[in-house]
Chains A and B, each alone.
Chain A
Amino acid sequence: MTMDLAASQTAFADALLHADRPVPDGITTARGEADAARFAVYRNNVFVGLTKALAQRFPVTERLVGTQFFVAMARAYAQDHKPASPLIIEYGGDFPDFIASFQPASKLAYLPDVARIEAAWMRAYHAADATPLDLAVLAAVAPERLADLRLVAHPSTGLIRSGYPVGSIWSAHQLETVTPITDWRPQDVLVVRPEMTVNIHILPSQDAVFAACLFDGATLGAAAEAALTEAPAFDFGAALMGLVSLGAFRALQPDEGNVP
């Protein structure tokens, strides 16, 4: 039987990622017959490469569950997730979603969100460089135009809204010795790289809805009203100035007729 190139490549890739599959058709050695042991070496190298890529991107996640569990979880992910990009730095972008559905990790409810911080960290690190929106530009906006204004998020910006103290958990794992989290409450984490360093911040809880709305493209007015509905203590000016100061935005939305 002959297969076309695409079909044979697919069959080869499937056999690579599933240890229970036989050596694909058409694989031969100098002696003629396929050598399952040699194919297993190749298969192993692929898995080691992919699981190591995940370990490098998710070091806190790995520490939380231990190397053995992490490798097993990463391997389960790799079986069904071929790299979608030739850039291995992008591999594992949806690993946090996989963790959320990975039954053996289900007792660690905070684990997917910790992994989301790590995924966002890597995205921010490799995001396009951009000068953040200057506070002076914001200050120059005519007051009557504020409510209809939209902001463009900085290319590196990521927001993780969690029901767990994932910022504190991530932070605790930046040290050699991990200390327990004493203040166990929900946290909203902003990941941003305004200059050359990726910054991780825990946002004031009353500002998270506002930030999320703005990153989704809402106007300042709509975002402020959504935030006030959820948290009456929300302070629009402090929140906006705070987020702009952290470098979360790149510019005013130009299609609204704003002059940057």
Chain B
Amino acid sequence: MNRSTLTLTLAGSLATALASVAFAAPLPAEKMVGNEKCYGIALKGQNDCAAGAGTTCAGTSTMDYQGNSWKAVPAGTCTSMNVDGHKGMLEPMKG
């Protein structure tokens, strides 16, 4: 695309998109929320209570993880995820 064609294309495309939203001053918050619904897919997360490690003073556990005798088998919800009609785990891992 040459320079002037690109400029025209971009400007026209943006003008068309902007014309679909009526606004004057900064968009109010509720407008932002409305736009989110229109563009992309908003995924609903949990509350922001999980601010991360170090933001709470949870004590250390007395559990001893020092033994390395674990089996290398993912055993969580991955088994319920579909992969092309198969389970999320294509085959069980050998420990």
Q: A125-B51, A167-B41, A181-B81 are in contact. Are A225 and B1 (CB under 8 A)?
A: yes
Contact B76 A241 (CB under 8 A): no
* B43 and A200 form a contact (CB under 8 A): yes
Tell me whether A146 and B52 are in contact (CB under 8 A).
Answer: no
Contact pick for B36, options A64, A69, A201, CB 8 Å: A201
Instruction: Give Cα distance in the complex from A67 to B23, angstroms.
Output: 49
Distance of B93 from chain A, by nearest CB (Å)? 6
Interface size on B, residues (CB 8 A): 68
Could you say which residues of chain A place their CB within 8 Å of the CB of B3? 147
Interface majority SS on A: helix, strand, loop or mixed?
helix
**Cβ of B54 and Cβ of A147 under 8 Å apart?**
no
Interface size classification for chain A:
35 or more
* A19 CB–B CB distance under 8 Å: yes
Q: Which residues of B (1-44) have their CB < 8 Å from a CB of A?
A: 1, 3, 6-18, 21, 23-27, 29, 32, 35-36, 38-44
Please give, as numbers and ranges, the residues of chain A lying within 8 Å of B58 by CB-CB distance: 52
Give the complex CA separation of A243 and B78 in angstroms. Answer: 31
Known: A88-B53, A198-B45. A178 touches B80 (CB 8 A): yes
Binds B, one of A3-11, A25-33, A136-144, A250-258: A136-144
Contacts of B70 in A (CB 8 A): 68-69, 71-72
Task: Give me the interface of A with B, judged by CB distance under 8 Å.
Answer: 19, 40, 43-45, 47-49, 51-54, 56-57, 59, 62-72, 75, 87-89, 91, 104-105, 107-108, 110-111, 121-122, 125-126, 134-136, 138-139, 143-144, 146-147, 167, 169-171, 173-174, 178-182, 184, 190, 194-204, 207, 220-221, 224-225, 228, 235-238, 240-243, 245-247
